[in-house]
Amino acid sequence: AQSVSQHNHHVILSEAASLELGCNYSYGGTVNLFWYVQYPGQHLQLLLKYFSGDPLVKGIKGFEAEFIKSKFSFNLRKPSVQWSDTAEYFCAGRSGGYQKVTFGTGTKLQVIP
Amino acid sequence: DTGVSQNPRHKITKRGQNVTFRCDPISEHNRLYWYRQTLGQGPEFLTYFQNEAQLEKSRLLSDRFSAERPKGSFSTLEIQRTEQGDSAMYLCASSPPPSGGRGTDTQYFGPGTRLTVL
């Protein structure tokens, strides 16, 4: 079955630390991958997306993710986190050409000032 | 345009009652999606509309659930004979026609309707 898994459920970092959140997918064939963020009290917002082409995608607020096909991974990175990055992060994917998006269980990031 | 809107934002109901939620997508977005999110989980896909046609439907959408998008604009999600297990956040998303080829559209989410079934 198509699935997306996030291995870190809760991450605590100090400001200025580097961030990497893991995401693995199990789709075969063409895949579209996404990272969404949900700040406290707000709705889901798209951080970045991968459809094809350059496997290193850059998103908003200094986030980036790398699509590594051989590892079925799409990890989210940020070189230096800020307190305002405290949020829940969801990795999501779908088979190319289909509309059903499957989300991971989310990673809660807490950044300590 | 202020994004996807959903009403009501909160709904408390007693078990066995029917509830209906409304979603207004971003204008000119012809695709509309419903998801359900329970505590500690990511959103789970329920159904998808392209214009007024319901094209995909999850097995999660039991016979008690029905979604409509009669004029290809707003959509409603109705739950009949609610059960306590229906308590969740119901999310709506919309997307425009893909501009970069098949499957290149991105979904934009609304704030959700939180349902509590007592």
Over residues B73-116, the pLDDT tens digits come to: 999 999 999 999 999 999 999 998 876 655 567 889 999 999 99
Q: Is the pLDDT of residue B32 over 70?
A: yes
- 8 A C-beta contact, residue B107 and residue B91: no
Residue A99 has its nearest CB partner, among B31, B111, B112, at B31
The mean pLDDT of chain B is: 91
φ, ψ for residue A49, nearest 5 deg: -150, 155
CB contact under 8 A, A90 and B42: yes
Please report the pLDDT score of residue B5 as a whole number. 96
> Left if phi > 0, otherwise alpha if psi is -120 to 50, otherwise beta: which for A98?
beta
Q: Is the pLDDT of residue B13 over 90?
A: yes
Which pair of tokens denotes residue B57? 């439907």
Q: How many CB atoms lie within 10 A of CB B83?
A: 12
Rounded to a whole number of angstroms, the distance from the CA of B19 to the nearest CA of chain A is: 22
- Confidence bin at A105 (pLDDT 50/70/90): very high
Please report the pLDDT score of residue B28 as a whole number. 86
| Contacts of residue B93, Cβ cutoff 8 Å, sequence gap at least 6 | B4, B32, B33, B35, B107, B108, B109, B110
The amino acid that residue B79 corresponds to is I
φ, ψ for residue A9, nearest 5 deg: -90, -30
CB contact under 8 A, B45 and A101: yes
Most confident of A4-8, B22-26, B40-44, B60-64: B22-26
Please report the pLDDT score of residue B101 as a whole number. 58
- List b or e across B57-76, with b for residues whose CB sees 16 or more CB atoms inside 10 angstroms: ebeebeeebebebeeeebbe
Q: pLDDT for A46-80, tens place per residue?
A: 999 998 889 999 999 999 999 999 999 999 999 99
> What residues in B contact A34, CB-CB < 8 Å?
106
